[in-house]
Amino acid sequence: MKKKHFLVSLRNFLIVLLVITLALFGCELIFSLNNKKDEKFFAVSKENQNVLYLQIEKTPISKLLASATNVYNSKNVLDLDLDFVETEKTYPLIDDLTKETRLKDALDIVVIGDSFVWGAYSLNRNELFWRVLENDLRKSGIRANVHAVAATGANAYEELSWLTETKLVEELNPDLVIFGYVYNDSDPSVDIDGESVDWNEELPFLSSIGKIFPNLFNALIQRITSKTMYNNKYSNSNYVNLDGAPPVLKGEFYEKYKADFVKKLDLFAEKVDFPVVVMTLPTLPNNMMIEALFSPLNELYQNCTNIGFYNCIDEFNKFASSAHKNNYSVNVADFHPGSATNKFYSDYIKKVLSHDYSQIIKEEYKKYVPDKAISINEYLPYNISLRKLQENKALHKYSLTYPSQEEEYSVYGIDVSQYYLVEPLGKPHIKLSFSNSLRLSEVNVEGDYESLDLYYTAINEKLGYDDHSVYEFEKKSSASFSDSSDKRITSVLISAEFKEGSDRNLILSFKEAEGQTNE
């Protein structure tokens, strides 16, 4: 009887074990298929993806490609003589204002921040909020320069040092300084990638199972980290990374940020003759985690008498709508601000200026007539040797060399010749962006190309920003293209093919629409 009972129990145990094993394998299969779908979407492939369009996190060469992406962006700046300013202690001025475009006797605003200000993964610097702000102020008749001082991965303490320990104030002579606060700014760690949890040490049993069911293990870890976002044991960095979410600003982070940033900035602001502002930079609307990360700031700044603090999360939530959903973030794989969010930041700052700091906009600043000249100040990839050849009221000519994927082109030892822009056209192309949107009636292209297609992106008038919809120029001939839509064009996209060994130089002539000016 006992033997029979034992056999029944053993059978039941084996059945349960089999069911659990099948369930585990089933879950592993499901998560594996999901991961493959993600990897297909996020993986780098010059045939179907764009390394400048996606932030890659899952591939072994992610660091290399992330570096290449940043090099594209920063080198683009260098090519146009918009270099970083070097001082005794450097501050990373993204000097988008050349000697020709920087206005004298103007309202000077300095925006300080990290990658949100620097423009990580953006394909067009003209969409960054400080550039949008500058353009909008100038269009409204205000002589204004907006200077961006920023670096990817910078924390609040580094940002403060740029203001207080360099010649920034002396050289830029600001009328207003704005710090853009992002939820990882209070992290004092010099490791900008954050500190990852060693799950093999923390959860050895689950880690062992993970060797058999890796996809299931990763899914469990993501669930654990999402549940422990307020627990410093599993999330001891304020940086959002694959291994965990950031904690709320509290404990040692709170006290350090209060003592080493808030109090020091308040003392500094007391001694200078220009206002200092701290403004939050949310990117995900109606997100409880983001709201929780920003909420402690209200208490921190309420007793500051010399700092203007603006937590715009409520206004950002009101701004949110389905019309903006594809442009909150810079792209589908990254959380940095996209064109909709950058436009919101700019509009919010303009409201703050008008309501609280109108006294800094002197009367002599209010009689500005914007420059109407066509100017290309951003292009990708950066190895196209773009040059302006001619400029008059009717015609603007540029020359460039269409890059070849066969010729190796390296930056800092990284071969970037294969990494063309691909999305959103689905084929290799180059992109030229105008400093201000404009209406074009005709574009002519000279060159020894076999075929050439011309597209553009434009301001969505209902939304007020470039929503990255792509439109095709009407082809009048193989070398002449036109547009009758009256859209305000922001960028031109060129996809061309050449015979092997042929000259890859192109000359483009842009003709403005009659009676229209760039805006």
182-193 in b/e form (b: 16+ CB < 10 A) is bbbbbbeeeebe
User: Per-residue DSSP letters for 109-158?
Assistant: EEEEESHHHHTTT-S-GGGSHHHHHHHHHHHTT--EEEEEEE-TT--HHH
CA dihedral angle for residue 144, residue 284, residue 112, residue 246, rounded to 10 degrees: 180
Secondary structure of the chain: what % helix, strand, coil (to 5)? Answer: 35, 20, 40
Residues 6+ apart with CB under 8 A from 183: 238, 240, 246, 290, 293, 294
Instruction: Determine the pLDDT at residue 109.
Output: 97
- What is the pTM assigned to this prediction? 0.74
Instruction: Determine the pLDDT at residue 492.
Output: 96
* Mean pLDDT of successive 10-residue stretches along the chain, which has 519 residues: 65 82 78 50 31 30 33 30 44 69 90 93 90 94 94 90 93 96 75 44 62 68 47 33 49 87 95 97 84 86 93 94 90 86 97 96 90 82 84 79 72 58 85 92 93 95 95 90 92 92 91 68
Beta pairing, strands 480-482 & 440-447: antiparallel
Calpha distance 39→170 (Å, rounded)? 49
* Bridge partners of residue 397, in order along the sequence: 390, 509
Helix 156-164 and helix 263-271: axis angle, to 10°?
A: 20
**Which CA distances in Å does 509 have to 86, 497, 519?**
37, 19, 19
Q: How far is CA 408 from the centre of its chain?
A: 27
Are 417 and 405 spatial neighbours (Cβ–Cβ below 8 Å)?
yes
Instruction: Determine the pLDDT at residue 86.
Output: 40
Instruction: Determine the pLDDT at residue 516.
Output: 56
Largest CA distance in the chain: 104
- CA dihedral sign, ordered 262, 263, 264, 267: positive
Instruction: Determine the pLDDT at residue 64.
Output: 31
Q: What domains are defined for the chain?
A: 84-188+248-365 (3.40.50.1110), 198-234 (no CATH), 376-512 (2.60.120)
Summarize pLDDT for 347-373 with one digit per residue, the tens: 999 999 999 999 999 999 998 888 777
Instruction: Determine the pLDDT at residue 206.
Output: 61
Q: What angle do CA 451, 454, 455 make, to 5 degrees?
A: 145
Q: What angle do CA 128, 483, 377 make, to 5 degrees?
A: 30
Q: How many CA atoms lie within 13 A of 60 on its CB side?
A: 0
Token pair of 71 as six digits: 């090099």
Instruction: Determine the pLDDT at residue 350.
Output: 97
Beta pairing, strands 396-401 & 329-331: unpaired
Length of the chain: 519
**Which CA distances in Å does 50 have to 97, 235, 517?**
29, 32, 33
Q: Pick the closest to residue 341 from 369, 310, 320 (CA basis).
A: 320
The three-state secondary structure class of 201 is: helix
Q: Pick the closest to residue 463 from 434, 500, 488 (CA basis).
A: 488
Are 466 and 490 spatial neighbours (Cβ–Cβ below 8 Å)?
yes
